[in-house]
Structure 1
Amino acid sequence: MNYLSAENLSKTYGDRTLFRNLTFGINRGDKVAIVGANGSGKTTLLTILAGAAPPDAGVVTHRKDITVGYLDQQPDLNDAMTVMEVVLAGESAQLDAVRAYEQALASGDHTALERAMSDMEKLEAWDYEAQIRQMLGELGIHDFDQRVSSLSGGQRKRVALARVLIQNPDLLILDEPTNHLDLEAIEYLENYLNTNNGTLLMVSHDRYFLDRVCNQIAELDGGQLYTYKGNYAYFLEKKDEREQAAASELAKDRNTFRRELEWMRRQPKARGTKAQYRIDAFDELKEKTSGKRSDGELDLNLRMTRLGTKILEVENLSKRYGNKVLLDHFTYTFKRFDRVGLIGKNGMGKTTLMNMLTGLLRPDSGKISTGGTVKFGYYTQSELDLPENQRVIDVVQDVAEVMKLANGDTVTATQLLSRFLFDRSKQYDYVAKLSGGEKRRLQLLLVLVQNPNFLILDEPTNDLDITTLNVLEDFLLSFSGCVMIVTHDRYFMDRLVEHVFVLEGEGKVRDYPGNYTDYREWRDSQKRTPEPTKQAVPKNQPAAPTPTVNTSTGKRKLSFKEQKEYETLEKEIDSLEQRKLEVVELLNGGGHHEQLTAWAREIETIDQTVAEKSDRWLELAEHV
């Protein structure tokens, strides 16, 4: 069953055509993601498909008997409403029933109240408000009476997402739904969409999210839409095949073009004396070969100031806002090549910690000592604070006219922008004309152009396209300084960090060796550890026979085998703890990437084994 169809869509901004004669369709049950480079027109296309903006040409049709929910990148919410009022203001049969019930209750009309109560029962809407509260809580919104006017941009996006999801539309259209969500909220949304039988169309750059949620990928490239049936991993495989075939075709076209060019040059200038069909074919071939382009490469191999022996020492750092404790005596000494991920729910203090490390915020107590050679590069979530009428090239030249690369070569601002995928025409565009992702890419350039050796990146993946993300990851893997990352992109964090600081609340920070997935698997294993429970005895049923106990102590005696196990466990736990200290010492001393990874894995295994053996030791100790 077709839910959405688009025929011959075209859209142009000024002298730039985003797409022309584009045809696309979505059937019931499809979960489709639109991907593509920044500025390729993904958000524009999504807006047109949602019916929120008209195309220059073409037609978009939604099936008449379906409901459509749309989440914009910048949701328009009523500032005078509370969070709960905004969500209840959505459109669905259940919400209509809730509103009708509340109106009948307020008016005192018994007939209307009976009818409303019947509708509430029929639509199972009695627990609807509880569902809304649960969904808002999972998305990180807990103050339901807060006015929308007091919400941050990220909070507004989450409230708007809850409003769309609770309506349970037949066709759900989402623009970058994972932006501004913490990692746990993303996993909640991922599970929600996986268990929901609705139809989905979205734009996202979150590769784990794409791989686990979508069954179809549509790539917008060069004004054309290439559709792949399968998840993101399948799309990568088939895209590579398509690009190889296109490269082969382009090589053939160029060889033909060179032969035809020689023919054109040899022939008399008078066009009437040449075969007109061959001239037309030559013109078409010329346009075809010149129109092909490559994505180019983003070369970030910039020179960096060498780090000294002392880097950054944090001792007993504490910070609180009112009654909320964000950090409580946090201590850590940063080492060379440290790659740290910051994990924690929104509001736990991740940005606060980064602001204190970079000197933008003072702690309540504690000491931060920075080495003399450290040069921070701080990439923040805040929007680019530049005049909208300033050209891109001028923005960069205000910071540096030329830059030195690691190999000693120099590049001009123009060349550097080209390496950041800004072509010559885009360099002379005004900042106001840039897409969200292009502004982010420019902001990243301005951070790196200052040659930092300690990078602190607060959500660097927001609005960046997948091509840019891949190259940024490659750069950070070869970066010889320290890196601290906050990101909701689990793939990005898994690939780059070697241990994580987990902000657990009440000021506690856990330093866990491993990446995000390692930590989650460990945490989930802790949750699965069974706790001893007392089994209820049904009424009128005799209790189970009581085990034999030592009458003098009231405890069951350990068997000979259990006694030996108990004594052995003590020795094994001591041995494991000693080995952990040795490995931690090795880890602190540094080494090759492979060694560091192996040691971190060993520590994780030791922790899991100690936890299991300790649980068994405690169980046996009750009967000693």
Structure 2
Amino acid sequence: MILACQNINKAFGTDVILKNASFHMEDREKAAVVGINGAGKSTLLKIIIGEMEADSGEVVLAKGKTIGYLAQHQDLNSDHTIYQELLTVKQDVIDLETRIREIEAQMKELSGTALDMALEQYTRMNHEFELKNGYAYKSEVVGVLKGLGFEEEEFEKHVNKLSGGQKTRVSLGKLLLSHPDLIMLDEPTNHLDMNSIAWLETFLLNYDGAVLVVAHDRYFLNRIATKIIEIDAGEVTTFQGNYSDYAAKKSQLREARMHAWLNQQREIKHQEEVIQKLKSFNREKSIKRAESREKMLDKMDILEKPTEVRSEMHITLEPKVVSGNDVLTVEGLSKSFGSQTLFTDLNFDVKRGERVALIGNNGTGKTTILKILNGLLEADSGSFTLGSKVHIGYYDQEHHVLHPEKTLFEEISDAYPDLDNTTIRSTLAAFLFTGDDVFKRISELSGGERGRVSLAKLMLSEANFLILDEPTNHLDIVSKEILEQALNRYTGTVLYVSHDRYFINTTATRILDLTGGQLVNYIGNYDYYLEKHDILTPKTQNPELPEAKAAEPESAGKLDWKQQKEEQARQRKRENDFKKTEAEIFDLETRDGEIDQLLTQESVYTNVAECMKLHKEKEAIAARLEILYEQWEALAQ
């Protein structure tokens, strides 16, 4: 065992965060802490690392073991370049290498006993150098930097000039290179693109120490976690398995607890009714029996009512008007910022009812595309066309659609002046803003709270085409699942940018991958994308021959696009044929049932001509249904 937390208690005023929290971790175990925003996940990590004191309880770290901790927010100050900053972790190896070189130089001047002693020291230090991976420490640093999404030309950037997200990645790189016995990470995927997250997953899976991570990325948790530590209303419960295992077990437990609570409530009500009845008899024996039952009730351990499933945010998305089938057509779209070309000659369309995820590495231009479609940026060339009766609802990850100086109530009432006060308050309450919360200014809200206000405005818009930029940022897992369900029920059209692979896998019907300045189309969810990625992604051009090879990825991308468009058209035709076949089967089976009802009526079964006519119709229906059933089965496959 490397770590044990025993009966940890922590409260802030009257707000109890942790109640007798206990769990342990074994060497090399990979565990995740989950819970809603504000549950106390970060607090627990800070107590373990010693940044915060528990009110009571004990944290025990195995003797001689080390902990490395990465907080959510990093304020890294350094005059070093990115590469130099990561090298500081290897200072002991660098010092050892310097000392080895010094001894090599000294040995040239030594002889006899002094040479023997120096040689012995040289051998010992070389062995230590090898154990510390000294011969490969530079390539290890480069590998971590590239894995975390830094290009080689960025290695010489100074740390003090980096963004907050880049500083967090540098801090993460330093932590991984330090090889502590226990790595603790608080939301490590927030500032990583998909490739970097996949690299981090592989690194942690193969790491020979233990890992304790707080994350809302369920795909990440499914890949690395073998144990889930849940914080729910201050209570800490441990579940074996990954996130999906935990979610299934949690659902079963909640159902069992609800069943037990309902049974107990029924029993209590029954006993109270019996007690009242016995007392109403007003006889000595009946009163004694009533008192006996009352004592039994008093001794009963009353179960707490389990929290309702998803009793948090309530979101309903429904368009007011149905759009035309062609929702969006983009032709020849290009955009550059100075000498940096993001994309050229992008062509794609979106049909009614599709949920299209736009993915790609950081800096490829995904958010730029959404801003162009919303009229917030102008394209350098190309055009886009919205279809008939298309009404856009836009969710901006930076929440520029909100007004910092307004209160929540004003934000909603000014955007939707026809709404009465009760409707506005009810809407805000559905997104967890109650009482005086509605008079908070937007500027006072956290990122998660601003996200909920933006979602509230989106719901009220009744738009039939939702354009969403990182809609799951700052949402806890429960809120993400609520949003996923709302989008899957939504009858309009969705185009969104997201790094949340679980969210994409659950909601997307199609994926557009922005890579190499071009789009590659995948007709399916994230699992399908992973399956087909290597086949459909244009091959990277040879950097040594930029002129000769520049056209190759473009032509490959266009070819893939054409193939995918043809496949998409075939898929739509199959879906339409499937729906038509199902509809005809339903109509014929309904008519067949109607004929059976008619044949039971005396006015019909006594009329020979009418009977023969109906029997012939039934035979025709049976023959047609036989064909349709085979057709349906083939289309279903």
TM-score range, shorter chain: 0.7 to 0.9
Instruction: Report which stretch shifted further, 367-376 or 35-44.
Output: 367-376
Q: In the TM superposition, what are the counterparts of 1:217-296 in structure 2 within 5 Å?
A: 217-258=228-269, 282=298, 288-289=303-304, 295-296=310-311
Matches of 2:77 and 2:357 in 1, distance apart?
A: 36
Contact 1:436 1:463 in 2 (8 A): yes
Matches of 1:275 and 1:434 in 2, distance apart?
A: 55
Task: Give a deviation string over 1:141-192, Cα, whole Å, max 9, x none.
Answer: 1211212333233322222221211112110111122222222212111111
In structure 2, the residue matched to 1:609 is: none
1:156 paired with 2:167, answer: yes
In structure 2, the residue matched to 1:127 is: 136
Q: In the TM superposition, what are the counterparts of 1:485-504 in structure 2 within 5 Å?
A: 485-504=496-515
In structure 2, the residue matched to 1:535 is: none
Matches of 2:364 and 2:470 in 1, distance apart?
A: 15
1:473 paired with 2:484, answer: yes
In structure 1, the residue matched to 2:54 is: 55
Q: 1:81 to 1:339 in 2, by over 3 A?
A: same
Q: 1:79 to 1:359 in 2, by over 3 A?
A: farther
Contact 1:51 1:60 in 2 (8 A): no
State the superposition RMSD in angstroms: 4.3
Contact 1:497 1:514 in 2 (8 A): yes
Q: Normalising by the residue count of structure 1, what TM-score does the alignment of the two structures yield?
A: 0.73
How far apart are residue 97 of structure 1 and its match? 2.0
1:136 to 127, 142, 145: 145
Contact 1:461 1:489 in 2 (8 A): yes
1:369 to 369, 375, 385: 385
SS at match of 1:126: helix
How far apart are residue 65 of structure 1 and its match? 0.8
How far apart are residue 105 of structure 1 and its match? 8.5
Instruction: Report which stretch shifted further, 258-267 or 447-456.
Output: 258-267
One-letter amino acid matched to 2:525: N
Q: 1:328 to 1:466 in 2, by over 3 A?
A: same
Matches of 1:389 and 1:16 in 2, distance apart?
A: 29
Q: In the TM superposition, what are the counterparts of 1:538-549 in structure 2 within 5 Å?
A: none
Instruction: Report which stretch shifted further, 480-489 or 65-74.
Output: 480-489
One-letter amino acid matched to 2:391: K
1:321 to 333, 337, 340: 337
Task: Give a deviation string over 1:182-219, Cα, whole Å, max 9, x none.
Answer: 22212111111122222111112222222221111111
SS at match of 1:456: strand
Higher percent of residues as helix: 2
Contact 1:158 1:180 in 2 (8 A): yes
One-letter amino acid matched to 2:46: T
Matches of 2:574 and 2:84 in 1, distance apart?
A: 54
Contact 2:318 2:491 in 1 (8 A): no
Q: Which structure has the larger Rg over C-alpha atoms?
A: 2
Contact 2:7 2:56 in 1 (8 A): yes
Contact 1:174 1:201 in 2 (8 A): yes
SS at match of 1:502: strand
Contact 1:400 1:413 in 2 (8 A): no
Q: 1:42 to 1:3 in 2, by over 3 A?
A: same
How far apart are residue 282 of structure 1 and its match? 4.7
2:94 to 85, 95, 98: 98
Contact 2:521 2:564 in 1 (8 A): no
1:306 paired with 2:321, answer: yes
How far apart are residue 40 of structure 1 and its match? 1.8
SS at match of 2:461: coil
Task: Give a deviation string over 1:382-419, Cα, whole Å, max 9, x none.
Answer: 26897999876666556458869xxxxx9723333443
In structure 1, the residue matched to 2:523 is: 513
In structure 1, the residue matched to 2:534 is: 524
One-letter amino acid matched to 2:224: V
SS at match of 2:135: coil
1:350 to 366, 371, 378: 366
One-letter amino acid matched to 2:92: D
Task: Give a deviation string over 1:6-33, Cα, whole Å, max 9, x none.
Answer: 2221222343212222122112122111
Unmatched tracts of structure 2, length 5 or more:
108-117, 280-287, 540-560, 581-637
One-letter amino acid matched to 2:93: A
In structure 1, the residue matched to 2:32 is: 33
One-letter amino acid matched to 2:77: N
Contact 1:318 1:366 in 2 (8 A): yes
How far apart are residue 279 of structure 1 and its match? 8.0
Matches of 1:99 and 1:387 in 2, distance apart?
A: 54
SS at match of 2:2: strand
Matches of 1:482 and 1:55 in 2, distance apart?
A: 49
Q: In the TM superposition, what are the counterparts of 1:381-396 in structure 2 within 5 Å?
A: 381-382=397-398, 396=412
Contact 1:401 1:413 in 2 (8 A): no
Contact 2:68 2:180 in 1 (8 A): yes
One-letter amino acid matched to 1:145: E
Q: How many pairs align?
A: 534
In structure 2, the residue matched to 1:336 is: 352
Contact 1:502 1:510 in 2 (8 A): yes
Contact 1:78 1:86 in 2 (8 A): no
SS at match of 1:24: strand
How far apart are residue 249 of structure 1 and its match? 2.1
Q: 1:134 to 1:578 in 2, by over 3 A?
A: closer
In structure 2, the residue matched to 1:186 is: 197
Matches of 2:128 and 2:439 in 1, distance apart?
A: 60
Contact 2:520 2:536 in 1 (8 A): no
Matches of 1:211 and 1:497 in 2, distance apart?
A: 19
Task: Give a deviation string over 1:228-266, Cα, whole Å, max 9, x none.
Answer: 122223222321221122102211332355467676999
1:419 paired with 2:418, answer: no
In structure 2, the residue matched to 1:618 is: none
1:203 paired with 2:209, answer: no
Contact 2:393 2:461 in 1 (8 A): yes
In structure 1, the residue matched to 2:85 is: 86
Q: 1:282 to 1:523 in 2, by over 3 A?
A: same
Matches of 1:120 and 1:206 in 2, distance apart?
A: 38
Q: Normalising by the residue count of structure 2, what TM-score does the alignment of the two structures yield?
A: 0.72
Contact 2:314 2:430 in 1 (8 A): yes
Matches of 1:389 and 1:317 in 2, distance apart?
A: 36
Q: 1:401 to 1:420 in 2, by over 3 A?
A: farther
SS at match of 2:3: strand
One-letter amino acid matched to 2:460: V
Contact 1:32 1:202 in 2 (8 A): yes
Contact 1:38 1:435 in 2 (8 A): no
2:495 to 474, 481, 484: 484
